[in-house]
Structure 1
Amino acid sequence: MRLSYEFSNLCGTVYRQGPLVFGPSGDVLYSAVGNRVQCFDLVRSRSFTFPFEARRNLTQIALSPDGAVLLGVDEEGHLILANVRRRVVVAHLNLKSKVTAVAFSPDGKWVAFAAGRLVQVWATPALERSFTPFALHRTFGGHGDDILCLRWSSDSLFLASGGTDLCVRIHSVHQIPGYVPASLSGHRAAVKAVFFDAADRTLYAVDRGGAVSVWELRERPDADQEAAAATAAELEAAGEAGRGEDRLGQWWELRERHYLDKGHARVTSAVMHAPSRLLVVGFSSGVFALYEMPSCNEIHTLSVSDGRIDATAVSPGGEWLAFGCAQLGQLLVWEWQAESYVLKQQGHFFAEILCLAYSPGGAIIATGGGDSKVKLWSPASGFCFVTFGEHTAPVVDLAFVPHGRALVSASLDGTVRAFDLLRYRNFQTLVTPTPVQFGCVAVDPSGEIVCAGSRDTYNVYVWNLQTAHLLETLSGHESPVSCLAFGASGSGPAPGCSRRRGRLTVRLWDFVSSSSSIEVLQHGADVLAVAFSPDGSMLAAATLDGAIALWDARDASQVASIDGRSDVAGGRSVLSKVSSKNAHGSKCFRSLCFSADGGALLAGGNSKFVCLYSVDERTLLRKYVLSNNAALDGVRMHLNSSHLTDAGPTQDLLLDADDDEAGGASAATPRSLARRSERVTRLAVRCACVRFAPDGRSWAAASTEGLLLFSLDEALNFDPTGLELETTPAAVVEAAQSGDFGRALPMALCLNEPGLLRGCWQLVPPEHIPIVAQQVPAPYLERLLRFLGGELERSTHVHAVMLWVQQLLLAHGQQLRDRPVAFEAPLRALHKGTRLRYEELGHMCNRNLFSLDFLIDQHGQPAAEAESGEQGGDESGAGTAAA
């Protein structure tokens, strides 16, 4: 069993807070999601999440002008410096204060931080590791309150800052004798954003009240021009010319002021594209507007949603606009000239993900959340492409029909709905005679029977999916049915669980035989989750006491038990007065899933850990950490109990001073104690559901942070079996170039380097593929099939890969039949890749047919018009001759 699963992507969450940043090319967008940073490729329609984590939720991110350095600052002022290309953290820094703005200089030499009332300018650190990567250049003061925005001039010599003191100050990065920082006052609300124009002669300040002040740089009538010239000459003689000495004897003068009236909505974000003088302003009402500066003519207005727009960004070319709404978890990229969306993504807002399910081919992940939505995600791209909103209550369980063309969901609204994944519609709604709340759902292997367990009537309801008729009501439980599962056998046993006489039972039903109840499996605690092995021979049940019971499903006998209380125990809750060592009683598993080969069991629950167990050895193989975000409850192992009061932790009793929400306190009012109803509570880290992918190369976890994907890193697998002294990469290349493919391919499989494998199989001529396929050693067959499954998804040589797969199946068919479990994962991977390529070719063929029909119609219309014109001319000529 391979254990090298590493974090690969975060889905279900696209924006939380902080700014949005475009890459230098304009086709990449960076967003902060919790304590991670997510990157969206807008051209290729793909996304990935950086593997590193910050200590807490990131509030500020910034990208260097060359796109090589990424800075992230969390809520406590801890900074991380990351290499974008290598996706690793290079350095850390504690700024010891809350940072409200970060900005790189246009030349990339400096980076400025707004920390409280101060502005700190640091030299941009290099990507090479060093003992002191950060060097403080200058610190600027002068503001009377917190700074909210920063903006550099185009020559990187001056820095403008604005804040809640209703003032804008312009600082010089270098020390200039006689230069006094300009203070631009007269604003009526907190300054939300400041911008320089392309020539640095005009400055725009946007406050929260919607006023846009336009300041121009002009010559001071009372300035001493001779002293300014002497100072410039001294700087030039000292070799320090070109540091902004031309600003001596000049001042900023208010030219005009414009007011943006959008129904008394406040300005929450603003950005300006200096080359085109395009100002984009987002409001608290969910409306954004485009203005042409300096005249402030309104170009366009559009309502994004009902929530406020927290972040706005414009691409370097000025054609794409990005908007982030933290209240709804929404991220939009809009092309304003064509008035079309480039990207429109939204996660499960107001609630976490409660359930997930993989499609049989592994190409789709379905999630359900507390917002009553069912979403379909593509693991390859990380994007949500379909959202079903027919439910009116939280969706608690999902199940795919075995053929993969339909999805069944259970909700607390009393309905079980079936969705067509070809037409993307709700084609069936299953209900009961009396309203109930469903807590789980399962589909039999034939795809004709659907079972759902209720929470209030303690019954299991059975429907026919085609006719939506209620076939049977299975009773016998004495408490809510918490989980259901079908075995792989044709009889289709469906276990449910309930409490009975102080002991919990798992009941097995057989729909084929005459007896309705076959066996009752007794447990000592509440059963929270059940799962069948892929072959249906074993049943795993997770109980409330943190144990996992393993049962033989054929003779209903308990085989073994795994005590996972110490394994699932994570951090300590801030509301708990019990130490983390003694808090094992509240930790348990709530979701189970077998691997594709049935040799491992994945378990997750009310903890930051997901545990992987060996079914045969009954031992813990590895623990995976879902999140290290200290802003979540239950992450830290050690806490200070002196901070815990009767009203809760002291750090949770403070209100944020931001007054963007309606009815908030004044921005100038310091933080004060909140009322009990307004106290901020932290989310607890937990895993609601875990599922293995059908191909076994990845698994997903529905957690508080979102949908976490962990993939198998094939590059880390090294098997020295069969390794000899002459097995080297040079020997592989030499054998492949000489045409000895039967020797080159096994050596490449032994070394397990993707580059060597890719080069070997691509060099084999098509007529030699059957011979080389027969010479593949039996121990390397599973590895080669797994590698070809990955190549089928990303390689352009689809026909060659299919030829290899065909010949391998023909040559080693008996081995595949003898060991079906060992080859189940690579065969599922091949099936997944084949389906993806089939769908791509199908869409391409349909587009080509439509294009050909259009060209034929366009080509036929002029010919028909010409023919009709000739006939009309002949008739008119004949008529003239007759006349």
Structure 2
Amino acid sequence: MNFRFQNLLGAPYRGGNVVVSEDSLLSPVGNRVAVTDLVKSQTLTLPFEATSNISRIAVSPDGNFLLAVDDASRALFVNLRRRAVIHHITFKKLVTALRFSPNGSFIAVGLGKLLQVWRSPGFRKEFFPFELVRTFSDCAAAVTSLDWSPDSNYLLVGSKDLAVRLFFVKKTKDRSKPFLFLGHRESVVGVYFCTETKTNRVCRVYTIARDGAIFTWNLIDSSTTDDFEGHISDPPSPGTPEQRNPLGDTDENNEALDSRKRNRKSLEDIDADGVVFPLHQMKWELLKKDFFMQAPARLTTCDYHRELDMVVVGFSNGVFGLYQMPDFVCIHQLSISRQKITTAVFNKLGNWLTFGCAKLGQLLVWEWRSESYILKQQGHYFDVNCITFSPDSQMLATGADDNKVKVWTVSSGFCFITFSEHTNAVTAVHFLANNHCLLSASLDGTVRAWDLFRYRNFKTFTTPSPRQFVSLAADQSGEVICAGTIDSFEIFVWSMKTGRLLDILSGHEGPVHGLMFSPMNAILASSSWDKTVRLWDVFEGKGVVETFPHSHDVLAVVYRPDGRQLACSTLDGQIHFWDPIDGVLMCTIEGRRDIAGGRLMTDRRSVATSSSGKYFTTLCYSADGSYILAAGRSKYICMYDVADQVLLRRFQITRNRSLDGVLDFLNSKRMTDAGPIDLIDDDNSDVDEGIDQQTRGNLGQGLPGSLPNHGRPIVCTKSLKIAPTGRSWAAATTEGVLMYSIDEAFIFDPTDLDIDVTHEAVDCALKEAQHQRALLLSLRLNEDTLIKRCICAVKPADIPVIASSIPFKYLQRIIEAFSDLLENSPHLEFVLYWCQELCKAHGNFIQQNSRSLLPALSSLQKSITKLHQDLMDTCSSNEYLLQYLCSSAAKID
């Protein structure tokens, strides 16, 4: 039952901005944040969830903190090292821009027309962690972009009012007006400070607009003028009437001007050389105008690397350009997508470019010098319909409504191959027992076999007349392939070797949505909407062997791993368990109340009285058959004990309020005369489109009694699969493929096992007093009782040597064993001595990998603390007892 969320597959990127911190790439995926290690080629999803889709993220310069803001302007302040949420804050308006200052002390937030500067919280827990420092209300339209100066004293802000403003962050006695950069004809997309290489002083400013224009503004240094006072009196910009001198040259006006100059100089910053350098009061001139010439495409995203003085821009036609500034020399101009590029950023060194396309779910990292890909990932941009684990649990295959089949590596979370030969939605996938062949069924009327060695479609199974397949199964030997249809209500049987159609099984009167071969024999079980489950003898050709009638439509069928039980779910929310040998009903689980939860925006009834969605559409037995997982059109996944027919646990797949069906109670304030405000289509071309919201959660074939989609993603689970190891399971949901695992790592490494690693080998090593070899063999077998037995057999004198020889990858496992021994073993000093020597031998590794070893270390600390408390209580009681006995003996004498 101790399954925890581990990762999210199938969706590397879904919109918003991405951030590159050191060698990690952070990208928002729905209401979660995915972290991709670009060096180790691994991806993981942070365990916290926002209340709705995350639209903006920012990382502190030291890489310790992450600020994630969702569509409802709720922000999470996260400790990235510990992956824990430290603080929460809700902004009062929609956040359109977000960035940490270079010194990490401040956070600039664009809230509509307002620009706010907040003091950044730290590691300490505070009652008011966020402190508002400044609020600037000079913008006439929404803030679109911002940039900090290197000294964190100035902010450059772009807005939809076609102007760019330069703000001085520090508070002054007399509020000075921001400097205005004018001339753009469309809204500003990016604004950037440019600095000198040697002095790190700001020398230029780049402003980029949506129409593809980039303006270069040059700062006229005060050292080029005879006296600085006269320089300030010059008009700084033809578009800034506030900074002109509207008065004449009379004596009174000159005295007022001199007074104003003295006040300005008293507020100016002094740099290390003692030269006055007030950016917001200096004179700026428009050096030149350049254009990217991609009309009619619009410029959608851009980024600037200060050290290299380079600009990267992305356009709505999928083209990106890399330019060397200030000469505006085009280095690269390539097309990487057919849809618009929604984000483009440099890494810290400037050698990698990261691009994101939200419409297609693409995430690319490209090294522009060698013109090679560092990372190239694309998720399913429609719902995932089906999933399956490989027999060794190393791979996961997914099929979706985008007509594609993808195969993922479970340990890294990366997709390494995509098959796109299907021309319609993929409805079922299945691995053969040899682990190198994958089958997929589709609504295009074909069943295809894929070779995972050569990555090609080596066989295609078809029917005499076009059919739509919705279920798929293969026998244990992989010789016979079966697929069920939705239109003709038949089951087609092919030979894997020849590809010939062997038989057509008729008898069902509704779509055949469930197929599975018995693990023990060649009996095929099929479930249909005609309210029956039928057993077929495929090899003998006897047709229907047994029929199990039900009172409602049967939605799914699954065999227990030992083949002695058959489970099926019906439209009335029940799970029926049958004995396939004797043909009798063993027991029934009523699950309507368990799966009920979440109200759609269009529902006229409350959750308690509504009947929609209160049924299971997918089932999956555990590896030992002791419990079963069930899910459907709900936000819950239910785990039942089969023997006792009780609910063990409910997993809530998401808390994302951007999806329909997450909330149990709807807010009446969100209702209007035209219906729920969330369902009103507000077409805004300036908003970055994400994955098609009209299709998520409702593509594919519906169920009897299901409601039509009204343009909002509906939370549901379409497929469940438990890994053959039994240590993890996956769920295909509206958010993507959710991975849950008992272990901190996903899989057990099978390369540690060979023919010599057996129980007999461990016993033999213990008899020969080879304690080191026995312990390593037991760790490779990964059996708890055997590991503890080998630990206790080691002599105290040999502990330091054996502790130093334990490989790093087994440290977590042996620390967990120490934790259990401290709670159950009487050898307290012996186990503590083991812990001490292990820390001495591997202290540096434990410290460097404290995050991955945290669960095991926390368990060990808990055991030691509990023992310390027990011993302290025992010693205290003994002390008082001895004092009592001594005092009693003295009285007797």
Compute the TM-score of the two structures, normalised by the length of structure 1. 0.78
Counterpart of 1:277 (choices 289, 309, 318) is 309
Residue 340 of structure 1 is matched in structure 2 by 372
| Offset from partner CA, 1:218-269 (integer Å, 9 cap, x none) | 2546259966874477459999999986347512221111111024211000
Counterpart of 1:422 (choices 453, 456, 459) is 453
8 Å Cα contact 1:118-1:140 kept in structure 2: yes
1:331: Cα distance to partner?
Answer: 0.4
Match of 1:56, SS?
coil
**Rounded Cα–Cα distance in structure 2 between residues aligned with 1:416 and 1:775:** 39
| Offset from partner CA, 1:342-375 (integer Å, 9 cap, x none) | 00000111x1100000000000000000000000
Counterpart of 1:19 (choices 17, 20, 40) is 17
Match of 2:593, SS?
helix
Residue 146 of structure 1 is matched in structure 2 by 142
| Offset from partner CA, 1:553-595 (integer Å, 9 cap, x none) | 2111110011111111121000111101112443211111111
Residue 623 of structure 1 is matched in structure 2 by 650
- For structure 1, list consecutive stretches of 5 or more residues without a partner in the other structure: 663-678, 716-740, 746-762, 785-793, 802-883
Counterpart of 1:711 (choices 741, 746, 751) is 741
8 Å Cα contact 1:574-1:644 kept in structure 2: no
Counterpart of 1:288 (choices 304, 315, 320) is 320
| Offset from partner CA, 1:649-688 (integer Å, 9 cap, x none) | 22321414334789xxxxxxxxxxxxxxxx9821000000
Distance 1:203 1:510, change over 3 A: same
Residue 47 of structure 2 is matched in structure 1 by 51
Residue 211 of structure 2 is matched in structure 1 by 209
State whether structure 2 residue 455 is matched by structure 1 residue 455: no
**Rounded Cα–Cα distance in structure 2 between residues aligned with 1:156 and 1:167:** 21
Residue 765 of structure 1 is matched in structure 2 by 772
| Offset from partner CA, 1:262-283 (integer Å, 9 cap, x none) | 2421100000001111100000
8 Å Cα contact 2:167-2:280 kept in structure 1: no
**Rounded Cα–Cα distance in structure 1 between residues aligned with 2:98 and 2:439:** 46
**Rounded Cα–Cα distance in structure 1 between residues aligned with 2:789 and 2:487:** 48
One-letter amino acid matched to 1:96:
K
Distance 1:243 1:473, change over 3 A: farther
Residue 880 of structure 1 is matched in structure 2 by none
Residue 558 of structure 2 is matched in structure 1 by 531
Query: What RMSD, in angstroms, separates the aligned Cα atoms of the two structures?
Result: 3.1
**Rounded Cα–Cα distance in structure 1 between residues aligned with 2:317 and 2:518:** 51
State whether structure 2 residue 718 is matched by structure 1 residue 688: yes
State whether structure 2 residue 95 is matched by structure 1 residue 88: no
One-letter amino acid matched to 1:174:
K
Instruction: Name the stretch that deviates more: 178-187 or 148-157.
Output: 178-187
State whether structure 2 residue 378 is matched by structure 1 residue 376: no
Please show how residues 301-700 of structure 1 align to structure 2 within 5 Å: 301-349=333-381, 351-490=382-521, 492-500=522-530, 504-513=531-540, 515-641=542-668, 643-644=670-671, 648-659=675-686, 681-700=711-730
Distance 1:182 1:412, change over 3 A: same
**Rounded Cα–Cα distance in structure 2 between residues aligned with 1:335 and 1:374:** 28
**Rounded Cα–Cα distance in structure 2 between residues aligned with 1:163 and 1:773:** 60
Residue 164 of structure 2 is matched in structure 1 by 168
Counterpart of 1:107 (choices 87, 103, 109) is 103
Distance 1:347 1:780, change over 3 A: same
1:290: Cα distance to partner?
Answer: 0.5
8 Å Cα contact 1:176-1:245 kept in structure 2: no
**Rounded Cα–Cα distance in structure 1 between residues aligned with 2:291 and 2:785:** 76
8 Å Cα contact 1:284-1:660 kept in structure 2: no
8 Å Cα contact 1:401-1:447 kept in structure 2: yes
1:155: Cα distance to partner?
Answer: 1.0
Counterpart of 1:181 (choices 154, 178, 183) is 178
8 Å Cα contact 2:383-2:736 kept in structure 1: yes
State whether structure 2 residue 731 is matched by structure 1 residue 701: yes
One-letter amino acid matched to 1:572:
R
Counterpart of 1:120 (choices 112, 116, 120) is 116
One-letter amino acid matched to 2:772:
P
Residue 238 of structure 2 is matched in structure 1 by none
Distance 1:460 1:381, change over 3 A: same
Residue 37 of structure 1 is matched in structure 2 by 33
1:180: Cα distance to partner?
Answer: 2.6
Instruction: Name the stretch that deviates more: 409-418 or 231-240.
Output: 231-240
- For structure 2, list consecutive stretches of 5 or more residues without a partner in the other structure: 196-200, 223-230, 235-253, 690-708, 746-761, 792-805, 814-893
**Rounded Cα–Cα distance in structure 1 between residues aligned with 2:350 and 2:412:** 25
**Rounded Cα–Cα distance in structure 2 between residues aligned with 1:238 and 1:409:** 69
Aligned residues: 723
**Rounded Cα–Cα distance in structure 2 between residues aligned with 1:416 and 1:586:** 30
**Rounded Cα–Cα distance in structure 2 between residues aligned with 1:612 and 1:771:** 32
**Rounded Cα–Cα distance in structure 1 between residues aligned with 2:710 and 2:632:** 24
**Rounded Cα–Cα distance in structure 2 between residues aligned with 1:574 and 1:47:** 34
**Rounded Cα–Cα distance in structure 1 between residues aligned with 2:232 and 2:787:** 85
**Rounded Cα–Cα distance in structure 1 between residues aligned with 2:107 and 2:672:** 40
| Offset from partner CA, 1:808-839 (integer Å, 9 cap, x none) | xxxxxxxxxxxxxxxxxxxxxxxxxxxxxxxx
State whether structure 2 residue 151 is matched by structure 1 residue 155: yes
**Rounded Cα–Cα distance in structure 2 between residues aligned with 1:499 and 1:208:** 53
Residue 857 of structure 1 is matched in structure 2 by none
Distance 1:795 1:334, change over 3 A: farther
| Offset from partner CA, 1:767-793 (integer Å, 9 cap, x none) | 787899999986979999xxxxxxxxx
8 Å Cα contact 2:232-2:283 kept in structure 1: no
Match of 1:209, SS?
coil
| Offset from partner CA, 1:605-663 (integer Å, 9 cap, x none) | 1011111111111111100111000010000010035745685422321414334789x
One-letter amino acid matched to 2:393:
G
Match of 1:567, SS?
helix
